[in-house]
Structures are given as structure tokens and as C-alpha cells.
Amino acid sequence: MLSETYYLIRSKADGRYLAAHPNEDDASSFVLIFRENFDALSYINTHAGDLANRLGVETVSGTQLKTVLQRWSFNGIGMVTDPLLPNIDFLLQT
């Protein structure tokens, strides 16, 4: 996982990453990551087409991902396995 490249969606306005909050009862947040650039773009076009001009796709390495999690206080990652449905696998940071 550390040697792979991932793609994250980031706001051009304030620099925040797109995150999921799978449980309404707590404040945990998971940064959404994609294995391919085109998957991230498909996600934007399918679920946020009207905001597409305000979002960008950023490339990060597996080693940079840990820094993103720490800097933005994410509880883990949400690996998007199907951007159209979407199917997301949530993994807690250890």
C-alpha cells in the first residue's frame, strides 16, 4: 500500500479533502481515496457534477497518505471501489 499511488478529491476553494462520515452518531471522518484518476473524475461527474469546476483530483503516494491523515485528523480512509454506486471500504488508521 505504501508504494502505490492514490487519488484524492480536493476543494479548490479551501483545500479540504473530500471525506465521508459513515456514522451519524460520532464525528469520525474518512478521506475518500481512489486507485485511478479516472475513478475520481467519474465520482465527481456522477455525484457532484454541478461542483466539478470547484474540485480537483490530487495524486498522493502511499507514504504521503499517512501525513494527510495526521494533518487533517482523519480517522482512516474510505477506499472507493466503485465510483458510480458508490461502494466504499472504510479502513481505520492504526
Could you read off the pLDDT of 18-41 as tens digits, one per residue? 999 998 888 899 999 999 999 999
For residue 39, what are the domain limits? Answer: 5-92
Residues 6+ apart with CB under 8 A from 14: none
Show the low-confidence residues of the chain (pLDDT under 70): 1-2
What pLDDT sits at residue 26? 87
Total tally of structural domains belonging to the chain: 1
- Let me know if 37 is exposed, middle or buried by CB neighbors in 10 A (0-12, 13-18, 19+): middle
- pTM, two decimals, is 0.91
What pLDDT sits at residue 11? 97
